[in-house]
Amino acid sequence: MSTLRDLTAAQAIAEIESGALSSDEVFNAYREAAAGDTLNAYTWVADEAPTAAEGPLSGLPVALKDLFCTEGIPSQAGSRILEGYLPPYTAAVVEQLQAAGSRIVGKTNQDEFAMGSSTENSAYGLTLNPWSADHVPGGSSGGSAAAVAAGLAPWALGTDTGGSIRQPAALCGIVGLKPTYGTVSRYGMIAFASSLDQAGTFTRDVADAALLYGHMTARDPRDSTSIGHPEAIAIPTAERLDGVRLGVPEELTGDGIEPGVLAAFNASLKLAQELGAVVETCRLPHAPHALAAYYVLAPAEASSNLARFDGVRYGHRKPGDGTLLGMYTATREAGFGDEVKRRILIGTYALSSGYYDAYYGTAQKVRTKIADDFRDAFTRFDAIVSPTSPGVAFKLGEKTGDPLSMYLNDVCTVPASLAGLPGISIPNGLAAAPGGGPELPSGLQLIGPAFSENRLLEYAHALEHAIGFDGSGARA
Amino acid sequence: MLSRDQVLHVAVLARLALTDEEVDRYATELSGVLDHIETISALDLDDVKPTAHVVEVENALRPDVPHESLPLEVALAQAPLVADGGFQVPSPQAGG
Amino acid sequence: MTDYEAVIGLEIHVQLRTNTKMFCSCALSFGEEPNTRTCPVCLGLPGSLPVANAGAVHYGLMIGLAVGSELAPRSIFHRKNYFYPDLPKGYQISQFDEPLCLGGNLGGVRIHRVHLEEDAAKLVHAGASGRIQSSRTSVVDFNRGGTPLAEIVTEPDIASAEQAGEFLRLLRTTLRTLGVSDVNMEEGSLRCDANISIRPVGATELGTKTELKNMNSFRFIERGIRAEIARQEAVVAAGGKVEQETLHFDPRSEAITSLRSKEQAHDYRYFPEPDLVPVAITQEMLDAAQAALPELPAAREARFVEDLSLSADAARQLSWRSEQGDFFESALSANPSAPARTTANWVIDLVARIDAEDPADGPVTPAALGRLVVLVEEKVVTGSGARQVLDRLITGGGDPDEIVEAEGLTAVGGDDTLAPIVAAALQANPDVVEKLRGGDMKPVGVIVGYVMKETKGRADGAEVTRLVRAQLGL
Ligand SMILES: [Mg+2]
Ligand SMILES: [Zn+2]
C-alpha cells in the first residue's frame, strides 16, 4: 500500500503545491514515523512541526546528521563528550535550507565525529540497516542513510570526508551525493577533517539530489574555503548517455570487490553502453595509495580539530585528579570513544616532531598525485565509474575489532575525496552477501571533474532509470 | 611498529589518559595501520608539490567591521563550570 | 680573564588596533565585562570557522613596509597545537614557514620576519580575588582571545640591554606613528621576549641561548637582560655551562627563575591551517598599505638634519622618541621665529629634567617652551634668566612672558645701564684689567661674574665681554 511517505521529495512538494496534501500533513507523517523509529536512525526528533519559511521546499521535513549545529537542538556528533550540547547557532547550510522552506524533523545518528564506516562508533547506540536488522547501514552518516531508505525522512543531509555519504547510501539502497569540495559551506559542521569534509545529500532518487543540492550551494563569507557552485543546479532529465565517455579504473574494480557487487557493477556498465555510453578501462595509478594518504591526513587534521573538546567551554567534563592536566586527560578519556582515540593518536603521531615529513608531507604529495591522476583521466573521460563500496552491508560487529578492514570500506570513495571531486552513488540493485543471508543493496559511484555536478546528475539520472531499482523493500 | 612508549608520549601530547590495556591494544592496532600507511614512503615523490587545499582560492578576507558578540549568558550557557563571569578551570599553576 | 659580549635577539608581540579580532567579527575589548566580546569563532565552538581580518593584513603590510621587509606574495597560516585554557581551539592560528613579511631593518637592527597571529585569552587566577578556597582554580575571560597580533622577530644583532631598550623605543615610535597599535606595554599591547647568549669577545660562534619571557615594561626589559647577561657570565666564570631554557624575570626581586616544567616538552605539531586559504598580496593591497604610511622616524630624522639643521644626536633623539619630536615640532609651529636648533636643545634639556615619557604630559607646554626660546633670541631675557624661567615653568607651569615680568628677569642690556656697571667692575679688579690688557682674555669671567652679581643674573655675558673690550680699547 502506497503512503505519502513513498513519494519522493519532489513529488511531495508537487502534491503540496497542488493542494492535494498539506505541508503540515507531510511533515507530521514523517515526524511520527521518525518518533517511532526502530532502527535508531534518529538521536533527536522534533516534538511538533516548526513554522516553515515561505519557500520552494514547501515546509518539507529534512533530517540532519547530528554534526550539523542547530541552535537550541542537541548537536552531539555521536560523541559522549558533546552529550546534551545545545549550540547557540545554526550551521550555514541548514539556515539556507530553512530559508528555502525546509523544516528540521530530526537529528540522525552517526559515527562519533564522523569517524567510521558503519555507525557502530556512536555513543548513542548502533543504527540498523533497514534492509536487514543484522547489518550495518554504513557510515559515518548511517543514521541519515537509514532514515531516508526506511521512509523516516524524505531526504537528509550528511557529510562525506572519505566516503561517509556515498558508502552508507550504497549500503542502504539510496542516492548519495558528495559535491565538489567548497561548494557547500562548512560553517556549523562539527569538523572531522577540514580539508576533506563536505556536506551532501541523501535522497530516494537523483532528481531529489539535484533539488536539495541546488538549495545548499553558496559562497559563504564565514567559510574561507567556500566558493559556491559556478552555475545553477538543474533538475536532471537525461534518459540516454549517447557519446558519454565513462572510464572504469582498473585500480577500483579489481581485487577486493565482492563478486556480487562486481557482477552488479558490470551489468550496469552494459546498460550504460546500451544507453549510448562509451565505456573503457582507465588508470588511476595512485589510487591504491589513496587510503594510506587519507589515513594520515584525516587523522592529523582530526587530532587538531578535536583538541577543542577540553571540558572548559562546553560538553562533558571530568575533574580527574583536580589538576589541569588531570581534568584534560580524564575528560577526553571518558568523552571520546575507541575509534576517535585511535585516530587522535595516529594523527598526533603523524604530526609530531621528526615524523611530519615522512607522514603528513608525503601524504600531501600523494594527494597531489591522485588529483593529477584524475586530471589526466578527465582528458579522456567525462566521468569515472566504480562500485561505491567493495561490498554490501556487513554484519553488525563484524569489523569492529579490526580497524584496517573497516578502513578498507572506503577504498573506492577516498580517491575522489582527496581530490575534492564530486561523487554520486546510485543504487545498483541487490547483490548477494558473501556469507549468505538476504541480498543487500550495492552502489554505483560516478566521479566527475570539480564543479561537474550538473553533468554528473544527468548521467546518474539516465543510469538510475535504466537500472530501475525498487527501494520500497526498505520502507516496509 | 609503535612502541608502548611512543603511544604514551603521543597520548600525553593529545591529552588522553590511557589504561595499560589500552596502551597495549593501541600499540598493536596502530602498528597495523601504520604499516599500511608506510607503503606510501616507497613512492618517488621528490619533485611533487604537497597539496594542502584542493580549492584554489586566495585571500577570502573579511572586512574589518564588527558584528554583535554573544550575550554573556549565551557564551557561558554550555560551560561545565562557571565562576565570576568566566569559565572556571583548575589553575595551571597548581601543578599539571 | 675572558671578556664576554652579549648576543641578543628580540621577539615582540604587538596587539594590532583593528576594529575586530583576527579571525572573527567581535570588536576588540578594552576593559569590558569578562566574556562579553565573544562569538562561536573566538570561543572555539564546534563547527565554527576562522576568517582572516583584512584590516589586520593591511596593518601587517604597513609594518612590513615600515621596516623594509620583503612582502611575501603568498603567505599561509599554520596551526600551532598545544593545550592551555586560554587557547580555546587547542591550537593557535599563526604563521610558520611562509610569513607575511621577511627581512628588513629598523635602526640598524635586522628584522628576521613579521607575521600575523591571534592572541590568547586571559586567565584570571582566582587567588587574586582573595578567595582562599579557590586558589587552585582560574577563570578564563575570552574577550582578549583572538585579538590580532603582529609578531616581529629580530636577528641577534643587539649587544646590550641599553641597545635593546633603544630598539624597542624606536619600534614603539614606529608602530605608534603607523597608528597600527596602542603600543602600551603596561596594558600588554606590546610584549617582548628576549633570546640571550654570551660569547668571548671576537668569537663568531653563538653561545647557548636562553629565552627571557614576557617582559612588560621598557625598564624591566633592560634590567632583565642585564641580569640575565650577568647570570650567564657568572655561570661561565664558575666553570659551568649555560643551559637552554625559558626564564622569567621578576622585576621586584631581580630574580631570574626557570619556567621549566613537565610540560616543557613542547611539540607544537605545526601544519597548514586547512580552514584558511593563502594570503596573496594584490597590487591594490600593496598600494593601500603604501598610501597609509605616514612619515617614519628615519625620514623624520633626515628632515630634522637637512631642513632644520639639527645635530645628528638631537635629530635621532627627537625622531626615535616621537613624543619628543612632536613636542619639538609643536613648539616650533607655535613660535615660527624660534630657531630650530636652539629649540631642539631646550626640548632635550626639558625631557632630561622631567619624569615623563611624553614631555607633553608635563607642566610645560610646547608653546611656552618655544616662547622662552624666542625671548632669549630677542635678548629679552638672558640664558641664565631663561633657565630660571624654565625652573618656574617646570614647577608650576605658566606663561614665560608673565614669569619674566613678575620675577624681574628682563635682561639688563644697552650701554646706558650696563656700561657703568662694567666700568665699576673693571675699577674694582685692577689685576684683571692688567691681564686683559696683556692679551690674556681668560680672567674676563671675573668681570662677567661681578656684573652678573650686580644685575642678579639679568646681564648677557657676551654683551658684558663686548663692553669690556670697548672700554679697554681692545
Ligand atoms: Mg607568537
Ligand atoms: Zn569572536
Cβ–Cβ gap C84/B92 under 8 Å: yes
Average model confidence (pLDDT) for chain C?
A: 91
Ligand 1 midpoint to CA C192 (Å): 10
Report pLDDT for C187: 84
Instruction: Give the ligand whose atoms come closest to the C-alpha of residue C22.
Output: 2
Within 8 A by CB and 6+ apart from A77, the residues are A66, A67, A110, A112, A113, A114, A190, C46
Find the CB nearest A314 among B79, B89, B95. Answer: B79
SS3 per residue for chain A:
CCCHHHCCHHHHHHHHHHCCCCHHHHHHHHHHHHHCCCCCCEEEECCCCCCCCCCCCCCCEEEEECCECECCECCCCCCHHHCCCCCCCCCHHHHHHHHCCCEEEEEECCCHHHCCCCCCCCCCCCCCECCECCECCCCCCHHHHHHHHCCCCCEEEEEECCCCCHHHHHHHCCEEEECCCCCECCCCECCCCCCCCEEEEEECCHHHHHHHHHCCECCCCCCCCCCCCCCCCCCCCCCCCCCCEEEEEHHHCCCCCCHHHHHHHHHHHHHHHHCCCEEEEECCCCHHHHHHHHHHHHHHHHHHHHHHCCCCCCCCCCCCCCCHHHHHHHHHHHHCCHHHHHHHHHHHHHHCCCCCHHHHHHHHHHHHHHHHHHHHHHHHCCEEEEECCCCCCCECCCCCCCHHHHHHHHCCCHHHHHHCCCEEEEEEEEECCCCCCCCEEEEEEEECCCCCHHHHHHHHHHHHHHHCCCHHHHHC
Q: Of B8, B54, B89, which to mutate for an interface test with A (greatest number of A Cβ within 10 Å)?
A: B54
Element (H, E) at C335: none
Give the ligand with the smallest distance to the CA of C145.
2
Mean pLDDT, chain B, integer? 93
Cell, residue A202: 541523501
C140 contact residues in A (CB cutoff 8 A): 312
Q: Which ligand is nearest to the CA of C119?
A: 1
Ramachandran category for residue A420: left, alpha or beta (phi over 0 → left; psi -120 to 50 → alpha): left
The rounded percent of chain B whose pLDDT value lies above 90 is 88
User: CA-CA distances (angstroms) from residue C405 to A122, C54, C293, C408, C458?
Assistant: 90, 58, 46, 5, 12
Amino acid C260: pLDDT: 65
pLDDT at C262: 43
The percent of residues in chain C predicted with pLDDT above 90, rounded, is: 66
DSSP 3-state assignment of C89? coil
Q: Can you give the pLDDT at residue C411?
A: 78
Whether the pLDDT of residue C94 is over 50: the answer is yes
The more confident residue out of C43 and C386 is C43
Which residue among the candidates A65, A107, A178, A399 is catalytic per the annotation? A65
pLDDT band for position C263 (cuts 50, 70, 90): very low
Give partners of B (≥3 CB pairs < 8 A). Answer: A, C
* Pairing, β C246-250 against β C210-215: parallel
Given the residues A23, A132, A144, A164, select the one marked as catalytic. Answer: A164
Is the Cβ pair A304, C90 closer than 8 Å? yes
Q: Which residues contact A246 (CB under 8 A, 6 or more apart)?
A: A269, A272, A277, A278, A279, A280, A381, A382, A383, A384, A385, A459
- Over residues C67-94, the mean pLDDT reads 97
pLDDT at A2: 65
Write out pLDDT tens, residues A246-255.
999 999 998 8
How many CB pairs (< 8 A) connect B and C?
134
What's the C24 CA to ligand 2 centre distance in angstroms?
A: 5
Find out whether the peptide bond into A58 is cis, omega within 30 degrees of 0: no
Please give all residues whose CB falls under 5 A of ion ligand 1, grouped by chain where several chains appear: C 151
| C-alpha cell read off for C300 | 623624520
Q: How far apart are CA C259 and CA C251, in angstroms?
A: 16
What is the residue-wise DSSP string for C304-316?
Answer: HHHTT---HHHHH
Q: How far is B13 from chain C (nearest CA, A)?
A: 8
Chain C residues closer than 8 Å to A303 by CB: 81, 269
User: Which residue in this structure is represented by grid cell 594570503?
Assistant: C279
- Other chains touching A, judged by 3 or more CB pairs under 8 Å: B, C
Which grid coordinates belong to B7? 603511544
Q: How confident is the model at residue B95 (pLDDT cuts 50, 70, 90)?
A: very low
Nearest Cα residue in chain A from B32: A404
Per the CB < 8 A criterion, the answer to whether A244 and A278 are in contact is yes
Instruction: State the pLDDT confidence band at C465, using cuts at 50, 70 and 90.
Output: confident
Nearest chain C residue to A77, by CA: C46
Question: Roughly how many angstroms between the first and final C-alpha of chain A, as a whole number?
Answer: 10
Residues of chain A with pLDDT under 50: 1
- What is the residue-wise DSSP string for C100-156? SEE--EETTEEEEEEEEEE---EEEEGGGGT-GGGTTEEEEETTSTT-EEEEEEE-S
Q: What pLDDT sits at residue A102?
A: 98
pLDDT digits (tens, 9 = 90+) for C347-367: 999 999 987 778 999 899 999
Which chain A residue's Cα is nearest to C93?
Answer: A304
Long-range contacts of C335-339 (CB under 8 A, 24+ apart): C335/C367, C335/C370, C335/C371, C335/C373, C335/C374, C337/C374, C337/C377, C338/C370, C338/C371, C338/C373, C338/C374, C338/C377, C339/C373, C339/C377
Predicted local confidence at residue C474, as pLDDT:
80
Residues forming beta bridges with residue A427, ordered by sequence position: A443
- Of C25, C56, C126, nearest to B66 by CB-CB distance is C25
* Residue C128 touches partner B, C-beta closer than 8 Å: no
Higher pLDDT, C454 or A165: A165
CA B93 to ligand 2 centroid distance, Å: 27
pLDDT in tens, C396-420: 889 999 998 888 778 777 667 888 8
**Chain center to CA of C421:** 50
- Distance from the Cα of B38 to chain A's closest Cα (Å) equals 7
In angstroms, the CA B52 to CA A195 distance is 8
Reported as a single tens digit per residue, the pLDDT across C138-161 is 999 999 999 999 999 999 999 999
Least confident window among A295-299, B71-75, C121-125: C121-125
The cell for A99 is 530559508
Q: Which residues pair with C63 in a beta bridge?
A: none
Looking at beta carbons, which residues of chain A come within 8 Å of C275? 191, 194, 223-225
Q: Which residue has the cell 615529513?
A: A357
First to last CA, chain C: 60
| Contacts for B24 with CB less than 8 Å, ≥ 6 apart | B4
pLDDT attached to residue A113: 98
* Residue B58 grid coordinates: 586566495
- Separation in Å, CA of A349 to nearest CA in chain B: 6
pLDDT for C163-173, tens place per residue? 999 999 999 99
Q: How far is the CA of C78 from the centre of ligand 2 (A)?
A: 19
Helix (H) / strand (E) element for C226: namely helix C218-237
pLDDT of C1 reads: 61
Out of A122, A140, A185, A389, pick the active-site residue.
A140
Least confident of A230-239, B63-72, C236-245, C269-278: C236-245
Partner-chain contact B48 A316, CB within 8 Å = no
DSSP state, residue C28? P
More confident residue, A238 or C441: A238
Ligand sitting nearest the alpha carbon of C38: 2
Residues ≥6 apart with Cβ < 8 Å to C384: C452, C457
CA angle A386-A387-A390, nearest 5°? 130
Q: The complex's ipTM?
A: 0.97
As a whole number of angstroms, the distance between CA A17 and CA A28 comes to 17
Cα-based angle A376, A380, A385 (whole degrees, multiple of 5): 90
A1 interfaces chain B, CB cutoff of 8 Å: no
C318 to B44, C61, C177, C185, C333: CA distances (angstroms): 60, 26, 13, 21, 16
DSSP state of C361: G
The three state secondary structure string of chain B is CCCHHHHHHHHHHCCCCCCHHHHHHHHHHHHHHHHHHHHHHHCCCCCCCCCCCCCCCCCCCECCCCCCCCCHHHHHCCCCCEECCEEEEECCCCCC
Residues of B in contact with C32 (CB under 8 A): none
Distance C149 CA to ligand 1 centre (A): 8
pLDDT at C265: 60
Q: How deeply is A115 buried, as exposed, middle or buried, from its count of CB atoms within 10 A (0-12, 13-18, 19+)?
A: buried
Told to judge if A65 belongs to the known catalytic residues of this protein, a careful annotator would answer: yes
The reported pLDDT for the residue numbered C346 is: 95
The mean-pLDDT minimum among B20-24, C337-341, C384-388 falls in C384-388
Mutation target among C138, C271, C273 for the B interface, most CBs of B within 10 A: C138
Question: What is the three-class DSSP state of C342?
Answer: helix
> Grid coordinates 655561570 are at which residue?
C235
Nearest residue on chain A to C279, judged by CA atoms? A224
- Measured distance CA(C350)–CA(C334) in Å, rounded: 17
Secondary structure of residue C246 in the 3-state scheme: strand
pLDDT, greater one: C48 or C426: C48
Helix axes of C340-353 and C312-320: crossing angle, nearest 10 degrees: 60
Alpha-carbon span A44 to A75, nearest angstrom: 9
pLDDT tens-digit series, residues C4-34: 999 999 999 999 999 999 999 999 999 899 9
CB contact under 8 A, C277 and B66: no
Query: Rounded CA gap, C184 and C190, in Å?
Result: 6
Task: Tally Cβ neighbours within 10 Å of residue C473.
Answer: 6
Task: Beginning with the edge strand found earlier in the chain, give each strand of the sheet holding A383-387 in spatial order.
Answer: A42-45, A103-108, A61-65, A155-160, A198-203, A175-178, A423-431, A440-447, A383-387, A245-249, A278-282
Which residue of A324, A348, A359 to mutate against C (max C Cβ within 10 Å)?
A324
Give the whole-angstrom CA distance, residue A231 versus residue A179. Answer: 13
